[in-house]
Amino acid sequence: MPNATEIESNTRPTKRLKTISGLTLPPHPPGTDPTAPQEAHLPPHSRSSPPGPSTPPPPDTTTNQPSPIPTASLPSRIHPPSYHVPLLLTSPPSRTALLQWFTTHYHRRAMPWRKPFVPPTSMSRRDLSRRAYEVWISEVMLQQTRVSPALAERWTRWMERWPSLGDLARASEQEVLAEWAGLGYYQRARRVWLAAREVWERTEREEGVGTEPVLPGSVEELIKLPGVGRYTAGAVAAIVFGVPAPMVDGNVLRVMSRQMGLHGDVNRDAKVGAVIWKAAEELVKVVAADGEEEVNERPGLWGQALMELGSTVCTPKPNCGECPITATCRVYQEGLVLAGKADGSGVGDIEDVCTMCAPLETEDSTRNEGLLSRFFAAPPTGRRKFPEPGPPDPEILDIIIKHARRFPRREPAKTVREEEMVVCAIRSSDGQFLIHRRPDEGLLAGMWELPTQILPESNDSVMRTRKSAASSFVRDLIAAWTGKRPGWKSLKHIGEIAHVVWPFSHLKHTMHVQWLEWNGAASSLSPGPTYRWASVEEIDGETMGSGMKRCWEQVRREETRED
């Protein structure tokens, strides 16, 4: 665990970077220090009312019209790379507006892991350990699903079972996997357990048995732990330790793409992703420097505010009328130009044209058919007047939202691979079932299941074919253990009892549940190293994937009818 000096030394940038992955930062106003505090310290739980949508810049005194932010040359969107430098970097009022908006939503969507920031040097080792552990588990769970009361209940149940990092480290792997059931991606649960054990064992080895284990306080050390990526490390470091570390999840990628006017694939284009990460890093340093204390809550609040904005307002179909930072949003300004409500004079001389943005005109998406002509057509009555400062009317807002929905760029979804399989419920004469433990690597690693075989791709996956496949699979399985293939009287196929369809992110399983009877006690057939006989009650308590759990529920229902 870093000491107080190490924590503080990691929180303050010694020098402001002048570029973001090759993008030149805009100049700061003369006589200003970009790292100096630029506004009053924001309380962590301000109860002030959230600001409304950002108003346009002050009007030009010569025309009495708003002075628009220069936009890309529309409709072609020709612009230099510097166009993508976040305007938030040089807009303290917008940064304050976002933080004030979040502190209000903080109370509206209170979650048990959201707590007031306490400087790490003011906390006991035990309290610091607990706080870092709470945030870490919440962030891993949030990678699986959205913020919701149901997720809050799962997090609370986890914390009640293992209140500290040491408690989790002393649990068994199977207990952790069982508690994680239903959240998906079980490898993440396994890695959480492995990381907890690593921190606990290292603490006991280096600092003595019984010493409270504490997660590291820097991104560099956190990211060395099993399963801790750049985002999770940044979240723990910023929220708990006050380190100005970026927190960039899918929601933040979308917000930043729109703020920066970056029309690229944020998930698959490494160059686009790197630019957004670097911009987020620069922003959080500026936000931290806005505060009065060396170590403060602003980095953590800022990261959470961006994520909250992306999950509630700047969604795939955004509600731009509720956004507190439209004044710095490139895409919002472009929408005003497209609606004929702002000056589309462009960003000036262009020496190097941006190579990261894909042209809007070349997108082939049925969802957007017909939109381009409406977006880029000249207003039917010629150039319209600029609106008075304030939120745009619904018609204009609709045009802005339609334009914003095109950011970030999305590649067509890949076709999900489909697999059909037979799931074999093999019951012995004394009422036990055969179960199998999956390999330690790959899909559903280490989970228990009923013996399963993937069916070959075929157009004749009829019940007769599945019955034959299930019977042959189980006979081959037993022959591999015993060296003798069982006869038809020893193993009988009773029937097909259910079909369970279960989707994953990259494939879909259609599981045909087969009922087979072994004509003998479980003790008469010794299974292999990854197979064992288990009672109904034992299987109820085993760690299974959610789809397999559904299959087992069908078997339990059938078994009840049999009795």
Just list the catalytic residues: 139
Pairwise CA distance, residues 283 & 289, whole Å = 10
In whole angstroms, what separates CA 390 from the centre of its chain? 34
**Cα separation of 479 and 527, whole Å?**
10
Helix (H), strand (E) counts: the chain: 18, 11
Using the 8-state DSSP alphabet, how is residue 353 labeled?
A: -
**CA 54/CA 542 separation, integer angstroms:** 53
Q: 377 CB contacts (<8 Å, ≥6 apart)? A: none
Beta strand 23-24 with 19-20: parallel, antiparallel or unpaired?
antiparallel
Rounded Cα distance between 230 and 181, Å, is 25
| Helix 270-290 / helix 298-312 crossing angle, nearest 10 deg | 130
How far apart, in Å, do the first and last CA atoms of the chain sit?
58
Instruction: Give, in order, the Cα–Cα distances in Å from 547 to each of 58, 183, 423, 450.
Output: 58, 12, 11, 11
Residues 408-443: b if buried by 16+ CB within 10 A, e if exposed:
bbbeeeeeeeeebbbbbbbbbeeebbbbbbbeeeee
- Which helix (H) or strand (E) element contains residue 424? strand 417-427
As to burial, measured by CB atoms within 10 angstroms (0-12 exposed, 13-18 middle, 19+ buried), residue 459 is exposed
